[in-house]
Protein backbone atom coordinates (compact mmCIF):
# COMPACT_ATOMS: atom_id res chain seq x y z
CA UNK A 1 0.00 0.00 0.00
CA UNK A 2 1.39 3.39 -0.99
CA UNK A 3 1.92 5.69 1.95
CA UNK A 4 0.06 9.03 1.64
CA UNK A 5 1.97 12.27 1.11
CA UNK A 6 1.72 14.25 4.34
CA UNK A 7 2.17 18.03 4.15
CA UNK A 8 2.68 19.85 7.45
CA UNK A 9 2.22 23.60 7.76
CA UNK A 10 4.03 24.59 10.96
CA UNK A 11 3.62 27.88 12.79
CA UNK A 12 5.06 29.57 15.86
CA UNK A 13 3.23 27.23 18.25
CA UNK A 14 5.54 24.39 17.19
CA UNK A 15 8.58 26.23 18.56
CA UNK A 16 7.20 27.64 21.82
CA UNK A 17 8.35 24.50 23.69
CA UNK A 18 11.87 25.36 22.47
CA UNK A 19 11.62 28.71 24.26
CA UNK A 20 10.81 30.83 21.19
CA UNK A 21 7.75 33.01 21.91
CA UNK A 22 4.87 33.13 19.45
CA UNK A 23 3.55 36.42 18.07
CA UNK A 24 -0.23 36.37 18.30
CA UNK A 25 -0.98 34.04 21.23
CA UNK A 26 -2.23 35.29 24.61
CA UNK A 27 1.38 35.99 25.68
CA UNK A 28 2.59 36.72 22.17
CA UNK A 29 5.24 39.27 21.31
CA UNK A 30 2.88 41.62 19.45
CA UNK A 31 0.42 41.69 22.36
CA UNK A 32 3.13 42.41 24.92
CA UNK A 33 4.93 45.05 22.85
CA UNK A 34 3.02 46.48 19.84
CA UNK A 35 6.07 48.63 19.06
CA UNK A 36 8.06 45.44 18.40
CA UNK A 37 6.20 45.01 15.11
CA UNK A 38 8.07 48.05 13.74
CA UNK A 39 11.37 46.21 14.23
CA UNK A 40 10.32 43.66 11.62
CA UNK A 41 8.56 46.04 9.20
CA UNK A 42 10.66 46.69 6.10
CA UNK A 43 9.75 50.35 5.64
CA UNK A 44 10.56 51.30 9.25
CA UNK A 45 13.69 49.12 9.26
CA UNK A 46 15.15 50.65 6.10
CA UNK A 47 14.21 54.22 7.00
CA UNK A 48 15.29 54.47 10.62
CA UNK A 49 18.80 53.62 11.95
CA UNK A 50 17.39 53.56 15.52
CA UNK A 51 14.90 50.82 14.52
CA UNK A 52 17.81 48.86 13.01
CA UNK A 53 19.88 49.24 16.18
CA UNK A 54 16.96 47.98 18.28
CA UNK A 55 16.39 45.10 15.81
CA UNK A 56 19.98 43.91 16.14
CA UNK A 57 19.75 44.07 19.93
CA UNK A 58 16.48 42.11 19.80
CA UNK A 59 18.15 39.42 17.65
CA UNK A 60 21.11 39.32 19.99
CA UNK A 61 18.88 38.84 23.04
CA UNK A 62 16.35 36.61 21.28
CA UNK A 63 18.04 33.26 21.72
CA UNK A 64 16.72 31.78 18.45
CA UNK A 65 20.18 30.54 17.46
CA UNK A 66 20.59 28.81 20.84
CA UNK A 67 17.17 27.10 20.77
CA UNK A 68 16.98 23.32 20.51
CA UNK A 69 14.36 21.24 18.66
CA UNK A 70 11.53 19.85 20.79
CA UNK A 71 9.28 16.76 20.73
CA UNK A 72 7.14 18.15 17.87
CA UNK A 73 10.16 18.68 15.59
CA UNK A 74 11.53 15.25 16.45
CA UNK A 75 8.17 13.56 15.79
CA UNK A 76 8.15 14.93 12.24
CA UNK A 77 11.66 13.57 11.66
CA UNK A 78 10.57 10.18 13.02
CA UNK A 79 7.62 10.12 10.58
CA UNK A 80 9.90 11.00 7.65
CA UNK A 81 12.41 8.31 8.64
CA UNK A 82 9.65 5.70 8.88
CA UNK A 83 9.24 5.98 5.11
CA UNK A 84 6.17 8.23 4.97
CA UNK A 85 6.63 10.97 2.34
CA UNK A 86 6.62 14.20 4.36
CA UNK A 87 7.02 17.83 3.33
CA UNK A 88 7.20 20.63 5.89
CA UNK A 89 5.96 24.07 4.90
CA UNK A 90 6.94 26.36 7.76
CA UNK A 91 6.10 29.91 8.74
CA UNK A 92 8.91 29.70 11.29
CA UNK A 93 12.34 31.21 10.70
CA UNK A 94 14.22 29.34 13.43
CA UNK A 95 15.60 26.42 11.35
CA UNK A 96 14.64 23.92 14.07
CA UNK A 97 13.05 21.42 11.66
CA UNK A 98 16.41 21.02 9.88
CA UNK A 99 18.32 21.02 13.20
CA UNK A 100 16.12 18.13 14.37
CA UNK A 101 17.18 16.14 11.31
CA UNK A 102 14.55 16.89 8.65
CA UNK A 103 16.36 17.00 5.27
CA UNK A 104 16.63 20.65 4.15
CA UNK A 105 15.19 19.81 0.71
CA UNK A 106 11.97 18.67 2.44
CA UNK A 107 11.49 21.96 4.34
CA UNK A 108 10.07 25.05 2.66
CA UNK A 109 10.71 28.21 4.69
CA UNK A 110 7.91 30.55 3.62
CA UNK A 111 9.18 33.43 5.75
CA UNK A 112 12.91 32.88 5.25
CA UNK A 113 15.48 32.11 7.93
CA UNK A 114 16.81 33.95 10.98
CA UNK A 115 20.04 31.95 10.71
CA UNK A 116 21.26 34.02 7.73
CA UNK A 117 21.59 37.70 6.88
CA UNK A 118 21.16 39.35 3.49
CA UNK A 119 22.34 42.70 2.13
CA UNK A 120 19.43 44.82 0.90
CA UNK A 121 21.71 46.38 -1.76
CA UNK A 122 23.99 43.69 -3.26
CA UNK A 123 22.03 40.65 -1.91
CA UNK A 124 25.18 39.02 -0.44
CA UNK A 125 24.24 36.46 2.22
CA UNK A 126 26.08 35.14 5.27
CA UNK A 127 25.66 33.55 8.70
CA UNK A 128 23.66 35.51 11.29
CA UNK A 129 26.16 34.57 14.04
CA UNK A 130 28.98 36.42 12.23
CA UNK A 131 26.97 39.66 12.23
CA UNK A 132 25.79 39.20 15.83
CA UNK A 133 29.47 38.86 16.81
CA UNK A 134 30.06 42.27 15.20
CA UNK A 135 27.11 43.71 17.19
CA UNK A 136 28.57 42.14 20.35
CA UNK A 137 31.89 43.85 19.52
CA UNK A 138 30.21 47.26 19.42
CA UNK A 139 28.79 47.79 15.91
CA UNK A 140 25.28 49.22 16.37
CA UNK A 141 24.11 48.81 12.79
CA UNK A 142 26.68 46.63 10.99
CA UNK A 143 26.86 47.36 7.25
CA UNK A 144 27.48 44.80 4.50
CA UNK A 145 31.21 44.03 4.27
CA UNK A 146 30.90 43.63 0.48
CA UNK A 147 29.25 46.93 -0.48
CA UNK A 148 28.40 48.89 2.68
CA UNK A 149 24.66 48.36 2.21
CA UNK A 150 22.08 47.80 4.95
CA UNK A 151 22.05 44.25 6.32
CA UNK A 152 18.89 42.53 7.49
CA UNK A 153 17.88 39.11 8.70
CA UNK A 154 17.13 36.78 5.75
CA UNK A 155 13.52 36.67 6.91
CA UNK A 156 10.47 38.10 5.16
CA UNK A 157 9.59 41.29 6.99
CA UNK A 158 6.15 42.90 7.01
CA UNK A 159 5.89 44.79 3.72
CA UNK A 160 8.08 42.31 1.81
CA UNK A 161 6.84 39.72 -0.68
CA UNK A 162 7.26 36.03 -0.07
CA UNK A 163 9.70 34.32 -2.42
CA UNK A 164 7.44 33.34 -5.36
CA UNK A 165 9.45 30.16 -6.05
CA UNK A 166 9.11 28.91 -2.47
CA UNK A 167 5.40 29.84 -2.40
CA UNK A 168 4.85 28.08 -5.74
CA UNK A 169 6.45 24.90 -4.42
CA UNK A 170 4.31 25.10 -1.26
CA UNK A 171 1.12 25.39 -3.33
CA UNK A 172 2.16 22.45 -5.54
CA UNK A 173 2.80 20.24 -2.49
CA UNK A 174 -0.49 21.35 -0.91
CA UNK A 175 -2.43 20.37 -4.03
CA UNK A 176 -0.66 16.99 -4.26
CA UNK A 177 -0.86 15.83 -0.63
CA UNK A 178 -3.39 13.39 0.78
CA UNK A 179 -3.09 14.66 4.36
CA UNK A 180 -2.51 18.31 5.35
CA UNK A 181 -1.70 19.07 8.99
CA UNK A 182 -1.74 22.71 10.11
CA UNK A 183 0.01 22.82 13.47
CA UNK A 184 0.77 25.71 15.83
CA UNK A 185 -0.50 28.34 13.42
CA UNK A 186 -3.37 30.81 13.87
CA UNK A 187 -4.09 30.44 10.11
CA UNK A 188 -4.60 34.20 9.95
CA UNK A 189 -1.56 35.31 7.93
CA UNK A 190 -2.00 35.03 4.18
CA UNK A 191 -0.94 33.53 1.88
CA UNK A 192 0.27 30.74 4.20
CA UNK A 193 -3.13 30.40 5.90
CA UNK A 194 -4.86 29.93 2.54
CA UNK A 195 -2.93 26.70 1.99
CA UNK A 196 -5.29 24.95 4.42
CA UNK A 197 -8.22 25.86 2.18
CA UNK A 198 -6.34 24.81 -0.97
CA UNK A 199 -5.58 21.40 0.59
CA UNK A 200 -9.23 20.82 1.49
CA UNK A 201 -10.39 21.90 -1.99
CA UNK A 202 -8.06 19.36 -3.57
CA UNK A 203 -9.39 16.51 -1.45
CA UNK A 204 -6.75 16.29 1.29
CA UNK A 205 -7.72 15.30 4.81
CA UNK A 206 -7.29 18.52 6.81
CA UNK A 207 -6.16 18.31 10.44
CA UNK A 208 -5.76 21.47 12.56
CA UNK A 209 -3.65 21.24 15.73
CA UNK A 210 -3.72 24.56 17.58
CA UNK A 211 -4.49 25.87 21.07
CA UNK A 212 -6.79 28.65 19.80
CA UNK A 213 -9.62 28.40 17.23
CA UNK A 214 -8.68 29.12 13.59
CA UNK A 215 -10.75 30.33 10.63
CA UNK A 216 -10.35 26.88 9.01
CA UNK A 217 -11.63 24.73 11.89
CA UNK A 218 -15.10 24.36 10.35
CA UNK A 219 -13.76 22.75 7.15
CA UNK A 220 -11.21 20.56 8.97
CA UNK A 221 -11.72 16.81 9.19
CA UNK A 222 -10.17 16.85 12.65
CA UNK A 223 -9.38 19.63 15.14
CA UNK A 224 -6.96 18.96 18.02
CA UNK A 225 -6.73 21.41 20.93
CA UNK A 226 -4.26 19.43 23.07
CA UNK A 227 -0.70 20.74 23.75
CA UNK A 228 1.39 20.36 20.59
CA UNK A 229 4.32 18.64 22.34
CA UNK A 230 2.15 15.59 23.08
CA UNK A 231 -0.65 15.90 20.49
CA UNK A 232 1.52 16.12 17.37
CA UNK A 233 3.71 13.06 18.12
CA UNK A 234 0.54 11.02 18.83
CA UNK A 235 -1.15 12.23 15.63
CA UNK A 236 1.93 11.52 13.49
CA UNK A 237 2.34 8.01 14.97
CA UNK A 238 -1.27 7.34 13.99
CA UNK A 239 -0.66 8.63 10.45
CA UNK A 240 2.45 6.45 10.19
CA UNK A 241 0.50 3.37 11.30
CA UNK A 242 -2.31 4.07 8.78
CA UNK A 243 0.12 3.78 5.89
CA UNK A 244 1.23 0.26 6.92
Catalytic residues: 111
Separation of CA 7 from chain center:
14
Q: Which of 124, 175, 115 is nearest to 147 (CA)?
A: 124
**Contact between 38 and 51 (Cβ < 8 Å):** yes
CB atoms within 10 A of CB 193: 19
| Cα–Cα separations (whole angstroms), residue 240 to 10, 160, 177 | 18, 37, 15
Q: Which residues pair with 119 in a beta bridge?
A: 151
Q: What's the per-residue H, E or C state across 187-220? A: CCCCCCCHHHHHHHHCCCEEEEECCCCCCCHHHC
Burial status of residue 60 (CB atoms within 10 A of its CB: 0-12, 13-18, 19 or more):
middle
| Cα–Cα separations (whole angstroms), residue 29 to 12, 32, 58, 93, 108 | 11, 5, 12, 15, 24
**Contact between 94 and 114 (Cβ < 8 Å):** yes
Helix (H), strand (E) at residue 180: strand 179-183
Amino acid sequence: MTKPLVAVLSGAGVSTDSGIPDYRGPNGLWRRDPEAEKLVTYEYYMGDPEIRRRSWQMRRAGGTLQAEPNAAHRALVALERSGVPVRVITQNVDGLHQLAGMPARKVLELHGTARRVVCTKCHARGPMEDVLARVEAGEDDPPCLECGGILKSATVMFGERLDPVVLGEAVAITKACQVFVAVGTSLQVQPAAGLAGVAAEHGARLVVVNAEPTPYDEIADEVVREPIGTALPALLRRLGDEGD
